[in-house]
């Protein structure tokens, strides 16, 4: 696509959305950065990026942002659906309202915003929709079932939409990052996990320790060694948007490429027992909770 076509990006208050807005703007693309709290966009505005308020759970907010871009440019050249968060907790204990909020943000908002930009994209016979998924759109681990279910839904919607819109010149792309070192994401993920049953209390403690080490880099771990930066994802997003024939999926980072390949090849029992149970915390009965931490959580050498 050319630099004159506008790129509308959601979730730009931090993380992948912000990094993508900065990278595309600095490479000469016309960027509209959006966020639910517009005050968080001031640093981007100071850098010369156009900003708009956009809450993916609010119909009027989404409509206003899309109308503003289309009024100025005719159509959105590329939509990057980056807004999202992770609900943590075991499947048994998650509240129904929490489940709904997770899907309202990660799935329904993404789908509704895509619906809004598509008529003008079809009329222009051009456009790209980039959906930020995750390695957890391809498999799931304990403690994040609802977040991971939302990413599985994004994968399915993207696959259907890619086929539905291809003949109209609209490209649909999935980005599947491994763990991204984003303090805000990790803090929210850990804070959301509030076990009710004592049976899950120790699992919560180990999960918090595990993800804190990965997302904040608070200590050296094997998984943390392969953690990527938000700009690594932004670089792939830009490549997909600029490509005339982008791939359907872009795994980002060594962990994404390796674990997705393993999931594709390994039977469930092998994947569960030789990867998930060794690499991630799993709930254990109270009489078995002295088991060693996952190998990815053990410190590698001195971390002082």
What is the domain partition of the chain in residue ranges?
6-191+227-253
Q: Which CATH class is domain 6-191+227-253?
A: alpha beta
> What tens digit of pLDDT does each residue of 234-285 get?
999 999 999 999 999 999 999 999 999 999 999 999 999 999 999 999 999 8
Q: Which residues are within 8 A (CB) of 100 and not within 5 positions of it... i.e. 6 or more apart?
A: none
**Across residues 53-75, what is the average pLDDT?**
98
210 is catalytic: no
Cα gap 154→67, rounded to integer Å: 24
Tokens 């086929």 belong to which residue?
163
Q: Which of 17-21, 105-109, 183-187, 277-281 has the lowest mean pLDDT?
A: 183-187
Q: Does residue 150 have an active-site annotation?
A: no
Is 147 among the catalytic positions?
yes
pLDDT digits (tens, 9 = 90+) for 83-127: 999 999 999 999 999 999 999 999 999 999 999 999 999 999 999
| 32, 147, 210, 250: the active-site residue | 147
Let me know: does 30 contact 7? Beta carbons within 8 Å.
Answer: yes
Partners of 250 in the beta sheet? 175
Q: Which of 151, 158, 200, 210 is catalytic?
A: 151
* 13: annotated active-site residue: yes
Of 17, 63, 7, which Cα lies nearest the Cα of 40?
A: 17
Q: How far apart are CA 179 and CA 157, in angstroms?
A: 22
Catalytic residue among 88, 114, 126, 133: 133
The pLDDT > 90 percentage for the chain reads 77
Reading the block at residue 101, the tokens are 């909020």
The answer to whether 40 and 110 are in contact (CB under 8 A) is no
Structure-derived torsion over alpha carbons of residues 157, 160, 163, 167, reported in degrees to the nearest 10: -70
């Amino acid at each position: 696509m050319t630099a004159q076509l506008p790129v509308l990006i959601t979730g730009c208050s931090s993380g992948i959305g912000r990094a993508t807005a900065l990278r595309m703007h600095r490479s000469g693309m016309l960027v509209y950065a959006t966020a639910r709290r517009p005050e968080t966009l001031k640093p981007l505005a100071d850098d010369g990026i156009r900003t708009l308020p956009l809450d993916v759970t609010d119909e009027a907010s989404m409509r206003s942002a899309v109308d503003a871009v289309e009024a100025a440019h005719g159509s959105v050249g590329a939509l990057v659906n980056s807004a999202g968060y992770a609900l943590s907790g075991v499947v048994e204990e998650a509240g129904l309202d929490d489940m709904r909020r997770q899907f309202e943000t990660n799935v329904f908002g993404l789908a509704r915003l895509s619906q809004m930009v598509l008529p003008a994209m079809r009329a222009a016979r051009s456009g790209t929709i980039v959906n930020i998924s995750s390695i957890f759109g391809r498999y799931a681990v304990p403690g994040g079932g609802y977040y991971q279910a939302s990413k599985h839904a994004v994968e399915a919607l993207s696959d259907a939409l890619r086929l539905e819109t291809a003949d109209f010149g609209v490209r649909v792309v999935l980005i599947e990052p491994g763990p991204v070192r984003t303090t805000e994401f990790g803090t929210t993920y850990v804070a959301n996990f509030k076990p009710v049953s004592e049976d899950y209390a120790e699992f919560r403690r180990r999960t918090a320790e595990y993800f804190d080490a990965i997302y904040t880099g608070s200590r050296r771990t094997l998984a943390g060694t392969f953690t990527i930066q938000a700009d690594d994802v932004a670089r792939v997003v830009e490549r997909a948007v600029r490509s005339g024939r982008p791939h359907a999926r872009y795994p980002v980072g060594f962990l994404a490429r390796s674990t997705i390949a393993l999931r594709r090849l390994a039977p469930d029992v092998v994947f569960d027992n030789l990867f998930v149970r060794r690499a991630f915390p799993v709930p254990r009965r109270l009489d078995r909770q002295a088991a060693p931490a996952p190998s990815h959580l053990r410190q590698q050498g001195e971390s002082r």
